[in-house]
Amino acid sequence: MAWDFSTDPQWQERLDWIEHFCREQIEPLTLAFPVDFWSGARLPKKLEEIVDGLKQQVKERGLWGIFLDKEIGGPGFGQLKLALVNEILGRNMAAPSIFGCQAPDTGNMDILARYGTPEQKAKYLEPLFNQEIHSCFSMTEPQGGADTHGFRTHAVRDGDEWVINGEKWFSSFGKTADIIIVMCNNGMFIVEQGTPGLEFLLGSGIHAHIRYNDVRVPAGNLLGPEGGAQQVAQFRLGGGRIHHAMRTVAQVKMALDMMCERAISRESRGHLIFDYQSVQNDIADSYMQVEMLRLLVLQTAWKIDNSSGREVRTDIAACKVTAARVLRDVIYRAHHMHGALGTTDLLPLKDIWSSSPSMSMVDGPDEVHKVTIARNLVKNYQPHEGLFPREYLPAKRALARQKFQALIDSDEELREYTERVDRHAARRA
């Protein structure tokens, strides 16, 4: 079995270019013009020309839409290479959009590519890939959260149309999206913005609260099989979870960089704060957590590339939970090390910290994923027979003695040694 932690030299050259491009091109632009490049909001013409020029450079490098397979229009690099790229892109909110891999469009493109009809791909997937339109995934419901078993949004077939009724919230970019992919309890459907019956209630920022009042869509807007919404959603959310974890690696690595720089720059009571053991402990604990998360994410990405997605569900769930935990721990330490400055808008830590509770909720709460991990692991085991556990040493030792009994009986010195060992064990007991 091959087990190699090195990066292909040619891919490393691309990673170096991406890092330089993000640092020298994207970061200055987003600092000079702090607008939502990734939200689909209309930009001033001159600014749009600059952003389009950056996107063109990415396309010329063959790095546009890197999450999609070749047959769909992407380069087909696979999840491992995508993870290495996201370690860089995750440091800047605008970078994924400029590389054509921004959420939630990525996940929606995934399911359109996997389950879409030729007509749906031509009408929705191609313009999504080219960023001519933007999308929303409308799943969570007020009464049941992310628990699909309690969903009430339902579609009824009426001739050549489906009629959708229900209520969704935390539908990110729902108000500005050109298409909304809505999960009903009997199927997944594509709803175009402006369709009669779409009612937007008071939401939370970009996260829309939508009521579907007799929303009619053509029969051809069913995405995937009738009754197959759960299957489609699981495929979509698995990719989303690993991508969130990939970008979390970038954020915690940046926070660790900030901590190390701060520790050897800031003085307190006549000493660099690095001289204090608590600071050293924080840096060491953060490094260990960051590296464990990074290796878990890279290994999971490698598994996705080399097996079926279903086989990696446990690992993806572990990445999602671990990412939230590491983000919370490391950003807190970085906050603390920067003192009051860390709590302000003058550093990126405040925004990252405010997203840490969300990481425990997006794409399903951590508690649900822990249940998934435990259940999947336990499936690989069988109950032990008898009163004592399988690793009960007296029983295992007795079986081992049976294996060597003939040898013990044939050698007097070995027999005496064994009896002496048994007497010693009996006295200890």
> In the CATH scheme, what is the homologous superfamily, with its name and number, of domain 231-378?
Butyryl-CoA Dehydrogenase, subunit A, domain 3 (1.20.140.10)
Cross-strand partners of 268: 271
CATH topology of domain 9-116: Butyryl-Coa Dehydrogenase, subunit A; domain 1 (1.10.540)
- List of residues 6+ apart from 6 with CB closer than 8 A: none
pLDDT tens-place string over residues 397-429:
899 999 999 998 998 999 999 989 888 888 887
pLDDT tens-place string over residues 228-252:
998 898 888 777 788 889 899 999 9
In this structure, which amino acid lies at residue 139? M
**CA–CA gap between residue 423 and residue 38 (Å, rounded):** 74
How many CB atoms sit inside 10 A of residue 412's CB? Answer: 9
Domain borders along the chain are 9-116, 134-223, 231-378, 393-423
Q: Does domain 134-223 have CATH number 2.40.110.10?
A: yes
Average pLDDT of the chain?
Answer: 90
Both tokens of 79, joined, read: 């999840």
Q: Residue 360: its pLDDT value, please?
A: 80
In this structure, which amino acid lies at residue 424? H
Element containing residue 167 per DSSP (H, E): strand 161-172
Is 231-378 in the same CATH topology as 134-223?
no
pTM, to two decimals: 0.86
* Nearest by Cα to 169 from 139, 199, 190, 134: 139
Higher pLDDT, 403 or 72: 403
CB 73 within 8 Å of CB 65 = yes
Lowest mean pLDDT among 123-132, 142-151, 205-214: 142-151
CB 106 within 8 Å of CB 131 = no
pLDDT tens-place string over residues 103-127:
889 889 989 998 999 999 999 999 9
